[in-house]
Structure formats: structure tokens, C-alpha cells
Structure 1
């Protein structure tokens, strides 16, 4: 009887302890990775876990938010402006393979990705190499961006297509 009560007390303590350890490790990973960025501004928030390859080619502006499970392949360079929001499970890549070569595996093709200020990228989106997303644009969830996006436009779909321009109201 005493053993069962003791286990009932210990199990929640162990769970809480291991959750704290996991949180500490994820935060440590985040700060270690951010130290490798080419640059990043103030007020940025990265939800962990996330994965960034070749982080030295990543430039991030101020007040950028990156959701969980975001993957970035920065081999060709990725530049993210100010106040950008990137939804969870998004993939941004500046590297691809040359499908016209027989051995595609060894054919890295790099093209810089530029995401301008005040962009919102919806969850589960994919941004391909060489893309520029204009200031204030909105990328709908689950979109695959294969072409440049005009400033203040709303695009969605696979491949992403222009829906309309944002109707911005004056803020008082």
C-alpha cells in the first residue's frame, strides 16, 4: 500500500523534472543555433524545436517570430525582414538540385530567398529557392511558393496563386 502511494507521489515529480530538462535542452539548442546566424535583430522569438542548416547564411530582422518545426536550408542565403511571422511546419529553402543532371544528388543549386518586412507565412507552407516575398504579403497556410510574391498581396495554394491585394485600413 505504501509503495503505491509513494509511486503516485514520485511519478508526477519525475515527469515535471524531465519536462524541465527537455525545455532547458531545447532553449540551449536555440541559443547555440542563433549565435551562428549571420545576423538577427531585437525582439525575435523562435519556438523550439526548429531546424536551420548552414545558419551562417541566415539574416533576420527585428521582431521576427518563427513557429515550431520550421526548417530552413540557408546554403544560398535567406534574408528575413522586420516583423515577419513564420507559421509552424514551414520549409524555406535556398538550395535545390539540378534535375537535368543524371546524378542529381551532387548538384546543389543555390538561390537566395528574400522575405521583406511585415510578411505573414501561414503554417505548413513551402518557400522555394530564389523567391522574393514582397513587403506586407500574406502566404496562406499549406501554400507552395514557386514564384515571387508582390508586395501586399495575398497568395495561397499549391502552387501559390495571387488571390487579391490586402485592403489596408488606417490605424488610429
Structure 2
């Protein structure tokens, strides 16, 4: 059973069974959301978005066009995904860069993910990190800019 809070504006019909969408979410019509997801309150999800199964997205996150999130991903509160390397108002040269978050990734609160990045399977991104390049599989990354670190 899909649960959608009455304050959420959900325009998509592509939502998997067992997904919960909390208060004050806006989800546009072409977004695809998998099964057993926890879409916390105060989120915005654009059209060209695919979210896999068993994904948790905490409050205050915007999921922009061109973002794919695979299964079993955790996205902490206020993670910021960007969609333009050269943001200016009314940019006529805007180029949509695809961002991919692979299976099992965990992204800590208040991290910023630049556009066109791939975060490979099962890494941990520490809270407050600024991810400026691809993140390797199974690694721990943190800092500004985020770098691969040893687990302690």
C-alpha cells in the first residue's frame, strides 16, 4: 500500500508499493519512485528522476531533473544536489548533466553533490561534504572538497 500525506502534491502515478510520502512534498508527473521508499517531509522531486527501491530521503532535499538514485540508498537531511555547473539566471546555454547514485550509497546531512557526478556502490559520504568528482565503490569520502579517506 502506498501512503501519501494529504498535504503532499503528488502528480506522478509511478510509485511502488509500500512507499510513504510525508507532509509538504511536491512530486512532478514524470518522476518514478520504487517500492518501500521513505520520502520524508518537505521534498521536491522534478520530472526526469528515477528513484529505486528501499530508498530513504530525509527532509529538505530537492531532487532535480537528470538524477538517478539506485536501490537501498540513504540521503540525509538537507543534502543538496546541483544541476548546473554554471548557474546564472535565464541561462540559454544550460546543459543538463546526469547524476547517478548507485546501490547502497549513504550521503550524510548537508552534503552538496555537484552535477554530472557518479557515486558508485556502497560508499559513505560524510556529513557536510562537497562532492566535486566521482566517488569510488565502497569508500568513505568526506571534506570540502570531499576526498577518499581511511575508515577510523
Unaligned ranges ≥5, structure 2? 12-25
Structure with bigger gyration radius = 1
The aligned residue for residue 40 of structure 1 is: 33
Deviation at 1:72, TM superposition (A): 2.4
TM-score norm. by structure 2 comes to: 0.78
Could you tell me whether the CA contact under 8 Å between 1:98 and 1:109 is conserved in 2? Answer: no
Q: Deviations over 1:105-162 (max 9, x none)?
A: 4431321000000000000011111100010011000001001000000000111010
Deviation at 1:39, TM superposition (A): 1.9
RMSD: 2.3
* More helix, by proportion: 1
The aligned residue for residue 55 of structure 2 is: 64
The aligned residue for residue 77 of structure 2 is: 88
Deviation at 1:94, TM superposition (A): 2.9
Unaligned ranges ≥5, structure 1? 1-22, 168-172
Give the 3-state SS of the residue equivalent to 1:96 in structure 2: coil
Aligned length: 134
Give the 3-state SS of the residue equivalent to 1:97 in structure 2: coil
